[in-house]
Amino acid sequence: MTWSLVGWAVIGLSALMLVIFNILFKNHKAYPVRRFPAVDRLTASRAAALERGKKRAVILGHELWSPAYPGLGLGALSIVSPLLEAEQVKAGGQVIAAGDGGLLLLARQIAVGRYRDGFSKSLIESDLGVILPGMTPLSFTAGLLPELRSQPYGSMALVGNVGPEAVLWAEAVADIKEHVFAAAGPITSQAVLFPSIRDLIMGEGVFLLPGLLKARTSDRAGFLTEDILRMGCILLLVIGGILKLAGIL
């Protein structure tokens, strides 16, 4: 048995589980969605910002694809749709910032797609507020910081592939006593954001975020598949450790 075969087996099994659970959850009692207080506070802060007439920022990160964290860009884009609630967009002030042309186009495409699907009659394309403050991490920071300082932001969510400079954006919003939420992917940004942000989601939790905001059947299927894979991985690691201690491996 080669490692390539193991890879195919894991991918095939995961795909199979996703399909089966997706079918099962459409007709039967669905897998429960776990609660993250940080996500509840994000939803509450966005609603509060809306009521106070303040802006809400969603930062999608610098890259759609990176070799070290390939799924982060897609994961970030997956939260655009659940965050585009009718009232959030109708009131204006919803800003989505991306640091990559591909991310920007896809985020805009999702927003416009919802418009075309008739999701909300009040959604006006020109009000979508998808911006690109800069194309490199530092130019993005230089472009975003004046925007955060000059406009009244009441809530900021950081997702996707952001670097350690994200702490500068977080501090800019935290300084005016407004809410900052992060589901930051790379380990470096998790480490730098941990001391400054209370509502931080780390590790695999980052990929659960779209389902935590608005759980669809496919999200629940994804939760269960991910949980099974995680438990399997833990079991294998423990068994491997025991075998190594016993001198068998």
C-alpha distances in angstroms, 133 versus 39, 77, 101, 141, 222? 26, 17, 11, 8, 33
Least spacing, CB of residue 93 vs another protein, in Å: 13
| 22 part of the interface to another protein, by CB under 8 A | yes
| 105 part of the interface to another protein, by CB under 8 A | yes
Least spacing, CB of residue 102 vs another protein, in Å: 4
- Within residues 152-181, the interface with another protein by CB under 8 A covers 164-165, 167-168, 171
| 131 part of the interface to another protein, by CB under 8 A | yes
Nearest to another protein of 32, 152 (CB atom): 152
Nearest to 42 by CA among 32, 34, 50: 50
- Contact between 54 and 230 under an 8 Å Cβ cutoff? The reply is no
Grouping H, G, I as helix, E, B as strand and the rest as coil, residue 248 is coil
| 78 part of the interface to another protein, by CB under 8 A | yes
Least spacing, CB of residue 105 vs another protein, in Å: 5
Among 100, 153, 154, 181, binds another protein (CB under 8 A): 100
Helices (H), 136-245: 137-150, 166-174, 187-193, 205-213, 217-245
| 190 part of the interface to another protein, by CB under 8 A | yes
C-alpha distances in angstroms, 230 versus 31, 87, 237? 16, 37, 11
Query: Rounded to an integer, what distance in angstroms lies between the CA atom of residue 153 and that of residue 96?
Result: 12
Nearest to another protein of 11, 243 (CB atom): 11
Among 206, 212, 213, 215, binds another protein (CB under 8 A): 206
Least spacing, CB of residue 147 vs another protein, in Å: 7
- Within residues 38-57, the interface with another protein by CB under 8 A covers none
